[in-house]
C-alpha cells in the first residue's frame, strides 16, 4: 500500500470506515445490530493480532562476514564452472555425430572371424627401415616391421587376435637388419576373405583390397604395394627364386672400382660362405650358397662435392645371416684371390 493510500485511509471518519469494512467483509449483509456485532468481534481479533505483530522483533539473517564472503565465492565459482562444463558436455554430445557412432559400435554384435572364409595370399611389402629394429619380430621390442604388420592385420580384422603363425601358414621371403629398408619384401599367409562361411567362394576380382585395408592401419613408412592369391603349397621363403640386396657407397679418396668389380666376380657361383657370415650353428648345417650375380654399378659419376656414388648389387638364391653384408664389405675394401 502506498503512502497516499495510507493517508486517505487515515482521513476517513469512523462511520465511513465502518461502512466500508462492512461492505467489504459482509457484502451480502444489510447494516444491523447483529452485523455490527459480528464485525466488531472480527475487528477486535484483528486488532489483537496486529498489536502482537507490532511488538515482535523481526529475525533477520545475520549479515555475512568478510570471511564468509570469501568462502562463498569459490563455491559459487565452482557451481558456475560445473554448470558450464555440463552445458558444454551436453552441447558436444548433441553436436558430435561420433557419439552416436561409438554407441552403435558398442551395441553392435561382436565380430566373429570364424563366420568368414579364408584366402591364402602373398603380400609385397615396402618399408623404410631407419627407425625399426629390423623386419623380423623380436621378443624384446615391438618396434619391428613384422610386428607393425601383424598389429595392422589384427586391427583390420584380417586375422584372429590369438591366431598363431602355424595356423596362418605364415612365411616370409627373408629378414633385414636394423635400419635396412626393403622395396619388395614378400610374406604369405591366410587372411580373412569377404565371403562368408558356407557360401560360394568370392572371386579374386570381387575380393576386398587387402593393400588398401592394411595401409589404413600401417605407419606411413610401411606400405603393402600389392597382393595376389597363391596356391596352398606356396611358401614366401622356399618358393622364392632369388633374393637381391643393394648397398650404396660414396667414393672417399681413391677407390679402385676395377679391382672391386674383379673381386665381386669371384663370389659368383656356389661356394662355402662361412667366412662371410655370422655363424648360426644351431640352425644352419650347411654354409654353401649360390651367388647368381654381383655387380658394382655407377649411380652418379660425380656429385656436387666431386664424389661418385656406386651401388653394390648382390643376387643369390639364398643368403646366410649377414652374408650379403659380409661379401659387399669384402669387395669394397679388398681384392680377393679366390682359392
Strand-pairing partners, residue 196, are: 116
- Comparing CA positions, the residue from 284, 261, 277 lying closest to residue 332 is 261
Strand-pairing partners, residue 227, are: 123
Question: How many Å apart are CA 313 and CA 319, to the nearest integer?
Answer: 14
Sign of the CA dihedral 195, 199, 203, 205? Answer: negative
Given a contact cutoff of 8 angstroms between Cβ atoms, the answer to whether 175 and 186 are in contact is: no
Given a contact cutoff of 8 angstroms between Cβ atoms, the answer to whether 126 and 223 are in contact is: yes
Catalytic residue among 15, 177, 221, 298: 177
**Sheet with strand 269-272: strands edge to edge:** 243-250, 309-316, 288-300, 269-272
Given a contact cutoff of 8 angstroms between Cβ atoms, the answer to whether 260 and 247 are in contact is: no
Question: How many Å apart are CA 117 and CA 278, to the nearest integer?
Answer: 42
Residue 15 is among the residues annotated as catalytic for this protein: no
Angle between helices 33-55 and 14-25 (to 10 degrees): 100
Given a contact cutoff of 8 angstroms between Cβ atoms, the answer to whether 173 and 243 are in contact is: yes
Question: How many Å apart are CA 273 and CA 266, to the nearest integer?
Answer: 12
Question: How many Å apart are CA 200 and CA 166, to the nearest integer?
Answer: 26
Q: Which helix (H) or strand (E) holds 171?
A: strand 171-172
Long-range contacts from 29-37, C-beta under 8 angstroms, 24+ separation: none
CA distances from residue 147 to 23, 120, 173, 186, 216 in whole angstroms, order as listed: 99, 20, 16, 15, 16
User: H-type helices in 186-248, by residue range?
Assistant: 210-215
Residues serving a catalytic function are: 177
Amino acid at each position: 500500500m502506498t503512502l497516499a493510500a495510507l493517508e486517505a485511509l487515515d482521513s476517513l471518519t469512523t462511520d465511513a470506515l465502518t461502512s466500508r469494512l462492512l461492505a467489504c467483509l459482509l457484502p451480502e449483509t444489510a447494516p444491523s445490530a447483529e452485523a455490527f456485532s459480528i464485525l466488531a468481534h472480527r475487528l477486535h481479533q484483528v486488532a489483537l493480532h496486529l498489536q502482537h505483530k507490532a511488538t515482535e522483533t523481526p529475525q533477520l539473517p545475520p549479515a555475512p562476514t568478510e570471511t564468509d564472503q570469501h568462502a562463498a565465492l569459490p563455491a559459487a565459482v565452482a557451481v558456475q564452472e560445473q554448470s558450464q562444463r555440463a552445458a558444454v558436455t551436453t552441447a558436444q554430445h548433441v553436436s558430435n555425430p561420433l557419439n552416436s557412432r561409438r554407441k552403435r559400435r558398442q551395441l553392435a554384435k561382436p565380430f566373429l572371424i570364424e563366420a568368414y572364409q579364408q584366402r591364402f595370399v602373398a603380400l609385397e611389402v615396402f618399408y623404410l627401415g631407419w627407425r625399426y629394429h629390423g623386419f623380423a619380430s623380436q621378443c624384446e621390442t615391438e618396434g619391428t616391421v613384422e610386428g607393425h604388420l601383424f598389429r595392422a592385420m589384427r586391427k583390420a580384422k584380417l586375422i584372429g587376435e590369438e591366431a598363431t603363425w602355424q595356423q596362418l601358414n605364415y612365411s616370409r621371403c627373408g629378414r633385414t637388419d636394423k635400419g635396412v629398408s626393403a622395396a619388395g619384401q614378400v610374406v604369405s599367409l591366410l587372411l580373412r576373405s569377404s565371403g562368408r562361411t558356407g557360401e560360394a567362394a568370392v572371386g579374386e576380382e570381387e575380393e576386398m583390397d587387402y593393400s588398401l585395408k592394411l595401409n589404413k592401419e600401417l605407419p606411413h613408412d610401411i606400405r603393402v604395394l600389392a597382393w595376389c592369391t597363391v596356391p596352398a603349397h606356396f611358401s614366401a621363403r622356399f618358393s622364392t627364386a632369388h633374393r637381391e640386396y643393394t648397398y650404396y657407397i660414396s667414393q672417399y679418396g681413391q677407390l679402385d672400382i676395377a679391382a672391386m668389380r674383379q673381386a665381386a666376380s669371384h663370389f659368383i657361383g656356389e661356394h662355402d660362405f662361412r667366412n662371410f657370415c655370422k655363424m648360426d650353428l644351431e640352425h644352419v648345417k650347411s654354409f654353401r650358397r649360390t651367388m647368381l650375380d654381383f655387380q658394382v654399378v655407377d649411380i652418379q659419376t660425380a656429385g656436387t662435392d666431386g664424389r661418385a656414388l656406386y651401388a653394390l648389387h648382390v643376387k643369390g638364391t639364398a643368403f646366410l645371416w649377414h652374408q650379403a653384408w659380409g661379401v659387399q664389405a669384402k669387395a669394397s675394401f679388398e681384392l680377393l684371390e679366390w682359392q
